[in-house]
Amino acid sequence: MTAHAPSGIDKMIDSAFVGLADFFDKTLFYGLKFDIPGAAGEIVTKEAPLILIWLVMAGVIFTLYFRFVNLRLFKHSFDIVAGKFEEPGAPGQTSNFQALMASLAGTVGLGNIAGVAVAVSVGGPGAVFWMVVMGFIGMSTKFIEVAAGVKYRRVFINEEGKTDISGGPMYYLQDIFSARGLPAVGKFLAIVFAIFCIGGSLGGGNMFQANQTFIQFVNATGGPETSVLAGQGWLFGLGLAILTGIVIIGGIRSIASVSSRLVPLMAVLYVIAGLFVIAMNYQHIPAALWSIIHDAFTPAAGLGAVVGGLLIGVQRASFSNEAGLGSASIIQSTARTNEPIRQGLAGMMGPFLDTIVICSVTALVITISGVYESGQGMQGITLTAKAFSTAIPFADHFLALCVFLFAFSTMIGWGYLGVKASTFIFGEHILVENAFKLIFCGFIIIGCASDLSNVIRFTDSLILSMAIPNIIGLYIMAPEIKKDLQAYLAAGKHRRLKGEGVVQAAE
């Protein structure tokens, strides 16, 4: 459902991207097809997209290669984020906590509300289990990419005479291939990654978020026919662009400052509301939890439904927490630390909070309330709103607020990613930064005022394409990051608490 019909110019722009969007769909989402038995013994054909296999393989391999670092050092990861290992004199622009929150600002978005609803309605309760599993192994992928981002970052004095930092896949891809005598390969992959990142920031990280926020506000204020906002997408977009511009114009310090307040606030607000809905439907909790575990392995619809739930759950988690895409390493490379491994461990909390906590709350609310069975074809935010309405009056208005907060945080996060990708290609100049920020804010207005579904479909593909060059680099760096992790643990750096010069016993 859209709040506006596409105009002539919208259609022209959108139609121009049909070919590109279809090409990326056919290549990036090309799937391996296989036949499995259904509930009645019939043969069911399923398809596993190659990009999904690429992301899952990375998560599994890194989890095993780093010996379940996501479990072994989970408490240490939490302590880092809690501020127990701050390094005040270290180079950097943000604290460990601020770096994580700024990174989460880019990942905690509409996928946590709408995307999860699609996963449950299409894949059934079993999809929730596989979504959590993917969030778990994604923690290991996030660890290595964030550690690499800090290790290979650039600390420099910008044109304003201030200390600045740039990091992420663009830089470690360039360096690791240069160190192996292949500078041209490294430069090529780095530029390809940066181009994908710029496109993704303007589409999935901007226009889609703005468009869906406007639609939800229109629906919450009476719908397309009676809402005072109907037909005023450009005006809504202008206001949203101004708010976003105020934050991103100040750079990473401004983004981190806002994110460190906004992300915890919106996450806590959403989780508390979700837990309230779950508590109000307490009598359904045992049955719902059983259906999640049971349907993950042995649903009534047969093996075909198991695979279907697995694929949609993995897909939703991958799109939500962005583990393997490299986006987190760009933002978290700004952390104030001399220890790349330390920030890598802090980065592990990203998939945990995004997928295992927030996405799971959405999934449990939908499952326990039972609306996915009686939703009558509803999907996305509409289904999530129906689930919340079982216990919370005016759920549409509450979801409209959550959608705004989640989308706004995503836009300011992706605004920074786009800036850094642009300056990597065109140079570290204030003019380049400000030009991209203006373009970025302009695309917010376009997203609200237009219906450019094919443009957004194309740019969404660019976001996922970031995983191809990034994970190639992560495989190459895995041995050196593993050595760095072993040295970090051997030196007892995971046991030394802030303000103390002694090594304490780990719990």
Q: Which of 383, 371, 319 shows the shortest CA–CA distance to 1? A: 383
Q: What is the pLDDT of residue 226?
A: 76
Give strand pairing partners of 48.
32
Q: Is the pLDDT of residue 492 over 90?
A: no
Q: What is the pLDDT of residue 163?
A: 81
Q: Is the pLDDT of residue 375 over 60?
A: no
CB 429, CB 407: distance < 8 Å: no
Rounded CA-CA distance 126/294 in Å is 7
Per-residue confidence at 500, pLDDT binned at 50, 70, 90? Answer: very low
Give strand pairing partners of 33.
47
CB 190, CB 166: distance < 8 Å: no
Q: How far, in whole angstroms, is CA 270 from its chain's centroid?
A: 17
Convert the pLDDT of each residue in 2-58 to its tens digit.
455 445 555 665 666 677 677 777 777 777 776 666 555 566 666 777 888 888 899
Convert the pLDDT of each residue in 219-275 to its tens digit.
777 777 777 777 777 888 899 999 999 999 888 888 888 888 888 888 888 899 999
Rounded CA-CA distance 135/128 in Å is 11
Q: How many residues are given for the chain?
A: 507
Q: What is the mean pLDDT of residues 79-90?
A: 88
Rounded CA-CA distance 123/39 in Å is 15
Range with the poorest average pLDDT among 25-39, 210-224, 465-479:
25-39
- Dihedral sign from CA coordinates of 368, 371, 373, 374: positive
Per-residue confidence at 75, pLDDT binned at 50, 70, 90? Answer: very high
Q: How far, in whole angstroms, is CA 390 from its chain's centroid?
A: 28
Q: Which of 335, 390, 344, 312 shows the shortest CA–CA distance to 155? A: 335
Q: Which amino acid type is present at position 150?
A: V
Q: What is the pLDDT of residue 70?
A: 94
For the record, the structure tokens of 359 come out as 């996405």
Rounded CA-CA distance 270/388 in Å is 11
Residue partners of 284: CB distance under 8 A and separation at least 6 = 368, 369, 370
Residue partners of 373: CB distance under 8 A and separation at least 6 = none
Nearest 10 degrees: CA dihedral of 62, 63, 65, 67?
150
Interior angle at CA 424, CA 466 and CA 190, nearest 5:
40
Q: What is the pLDDT of residue 362?
A: 86
CB 214, CB 237: distance < 8 Å: yes
Residue spans of beta strands (DSSP E) within 50-147: none
Residue partners of 148: CB distance under 8 A and separation at least 6 = 172, 329, 340, 344, 473, 474, 477, 481
Q: What stretches of 249-353 show up as alpha helix (H) in DSSP?
A: 251-280, 285-297, 303-321, 327-332, 340-347, 349-351
Rounded CA-CA distance 330/276 in Å is 36
Q: Which residue shows structure tokens 């391996």?
A: 32
Q: Which amino acid type is present at position 427?
A: G
CB 463, CB 205: distance < 8 Å: yes
Q: Which amino acid type is present at position 168?
A: G
Q: Which residue shows structure tokens 């290790």?
A: 151
For the record, the structure tokens of 306 come out as 């198991």
Interior angle at CA 328, CA 208 and CA 261, nearest 5:
75
For the record, the structure tokens of 283 come out as 């009598």
Query: For 60, what's the count of Cα atoms within 13 Å in the CB-facing half-sphere?
Result: 7
Per-residue confidence at 438, pLDDT binned at 50, 70, 90? Answer: very high
Percent of the chain with pLDDT over 70: 83
Question: SS3 for 75?
Answer: helix
Residue partners of 272: CB distance under 8 A and separation at least 6 = none
Residue 156 carries which DSSP code? E
Per-residue confidence at 139, pLDDT binned at 50, 70, 90? Answer: very high
Q: What is the pLDDT of residue 30?
A: 74
Give the DSSP per-residue string, 384-409: HHHHHTTTSTTHHHHHHHHHHHHHHH
Pairing of strands 154-157, 43-49: unpaired
Rounded CA-CA distance 234/418 in Å is 23
Q: What is the pLDDT of residue 419?
A: 94
Q: What is the mean pLDDT of the chain?
A: 82
Rounded CA-CA distance 56/70 in Å is 15
Q: Which of 419, 166, 460 shows the shortest CA–CA distance to 322? A: 460
Cα-based distances in Å from 231 to 42, 334, 382, 401: 49, 41, 21, 20
CB 355, CB 134: distance < 8 Å: yes
Q: What is the largest CA-CA distance in the chain?
A: 71
For the record, the structure tokens of 368 come out as 């326990």
Q: What is the pLDDT of residue 124?
A: 75
